[in-house]
């Protein structure tokens, strides 16, 4: 074969992508993985790389890389090998297919860490050919707490405060009052040694700018993901009665609670009296 012909064949292969002996046909990397720290047995994070390879190809190797660093390697005659950063985090017994050249191609990550976020590449190669594909994955660590509250701080002002704890990556927070965006101070955040963030926003307004009752909401979102949470509460001005004459049924609930307290107090006084008599 002269040089011209082989160049033509090469070009033909590149254009059709048809001549390579190993070819990735599907990369299955979820764009997000939600990690619930309270769960003892979180679902494994499975990354799969589907490829076509000629059974006669020699020297097959599969590799997974995270941001360019190898994290997992598999050669069909050997056991799958997780590299240092993924050691004890990959279930090496996971089998995705019974076919000889496919058995351990998928990487099953158990208990992923927050810093497993990044670009994952699958590389498959033989002596004759190579193919690679990459996709981004974001690990989301679910917050341990998400609270919305308000309080009067004297001076006729009300402060609204919204905070999330132990979350990753850094979320965005937004407060809405009666469905309108409430201008707050900038997001405050601290990152702990575990990589997780505490984040909060708060804002203050004059009581006379706030009708009572008012619906207050806090929205938590993580940019570039569909992760979102919502908390809501109803603001009541403590100086205006909650219930008008038509809401008598609402107040009876409180009445019962007070009645309950009175009962307890009476019982305690009785007990004290009895103890007093015994002691005497």
3-state SS string for 115-178:
HHCEEEEEEEECCCCEEEEEEEEEEEECCCEEEEEEEECCCCEEEEEEEEEEEECCCEEEEEEC
User: Listing from the earlier edge strand, what are the strands of the sheet with 45-53?
Assistant: 22-28, 45-53, 107-109
Cα gap 85→74, rounded to integer Å = 16
Least distance in angstroms from the C-beta of 170 to ligand NAG: 12
Least distance in angstroms from the C-beta of 88 to ligand NAG: 11
* Spatial CB neighbours of 33, under 8 Å, sequence gap ≥ 6: 45, 112, 137, 138, 139, 140
Nearer residue to ligand NAG within complex by CB, 226 or 249 = 249
Least distance in angstroms from the C-beta of 189 to ligand NAG: 9
| Closest residue to ligand NAG, based on beta-carbon distance | 192
Nearer residue to ligand NAG within complex by CB, 89 or 102 = 89
Instruction: Give residues in contact with ligand NAG (CB under 6 A).
Output: 85, 113, 115, 165, 190, 192, 198, 244, 246-247, 250
Least distance in angstroms from the C-beta of 146 to ligand NAG: 12
Nearer residue to ligand NAG within complex by CB, 129 or 233 = 233
For residue 246, report the phi and psi dihedrals to the nearest 5 degrees.
-75, -10
CA dihedral 203, 208, 211, 214 (to 10 degrees): 20
User: Listing from the earlier edge strand, what are the strands of the sheet with 197-206?
Assistant: 145-152, 157-167, 197-206, 188-191
Measured CA distances, 31 to 38, 110, 118, 134, 139 (Å): 22, 17, 10, 12, 9
Task: Give the largest CA-CA distance in the chain.
Answer: 120
Nearer residue to ligand NAG within complex by CB, 246 or 276 = 246
Least distance in angstroms from the C-beta of 176 to ligand NAG: 21
Nearer residue to ligand NAG within complex by CB, 85 or 159 = 85
Nearer residue to ligand NAG within complex by CB, 68 or 244 = 244
Least distance in angstroms from the C-beta of 228 to ligand NAG: 21
Nearer residue to ligand NAG within complex by CB, 86 or 227 = 86
Name the token pair of 188.
């405050």
Cα gap 280→277, rounded to integer Å = 5
Determine contact, residues 168/222, Cβ cutoff 8 Å.
Answer: no
Least distance in angstroms from the C-beta of 198 to ligand NAG: 4
């Amino acid at each position: 074969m002269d040089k011209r012909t082989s160049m033509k064949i090469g070009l033909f292969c590149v254009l059709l992508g048809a001549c390579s002996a190993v070819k990735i046909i599907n990369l299955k990397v979820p764009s997000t993985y939600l990690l619930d720290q309270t769960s003892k047995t979180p679902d494994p994070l499975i990354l799969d790389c589907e490829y076509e390879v000629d059974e006669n190809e020699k020297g097959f190797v599969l590799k997974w890389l995270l941001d360019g660093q190898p994290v997992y390697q598999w050669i069909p005659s050997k056991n799958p090998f997780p590299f240092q950063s993924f050691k004890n985090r990959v279930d090496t017994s996971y089998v995705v297919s019974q076919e000889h050249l496919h058995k351990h191609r998928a990487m099953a990550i158990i208990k992923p860490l927050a810093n497993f976020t990044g670009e994952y590449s699958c590389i498959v190669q033989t002596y004759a050919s190579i193919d690679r594909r990459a996709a981004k994955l974001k690990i989301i660590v679910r917050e341990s707490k998400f609270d919305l509250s308000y309080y009067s701080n004297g001076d006729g002002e009300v402060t609204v405060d919204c905070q999330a704890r132990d979350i990753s990556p850094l979320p965005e927070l937004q407060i809405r009052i009666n469905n309108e965006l409430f201008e707050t101070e900038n997001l405050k955040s601290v990152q702990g040694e575990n990589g997780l963030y505490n984040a909060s926003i708060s804002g203050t307004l004059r009581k006379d700018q706030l009708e009572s009752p008012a619906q207050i909401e806090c929205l938590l979102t993580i940019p570039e993901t569909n992760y979102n949470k919502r908390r809501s509460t109803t603001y009541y001005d403590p100086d205006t009665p909650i219930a008008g004459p038509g809401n008598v049924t609402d107040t009876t609930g409180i009445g019962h609670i007070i009645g309950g307290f009175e009962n307890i107090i009476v019982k305690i006084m009785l007990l004290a009296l009895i103890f007093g008599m015994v002691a005497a």
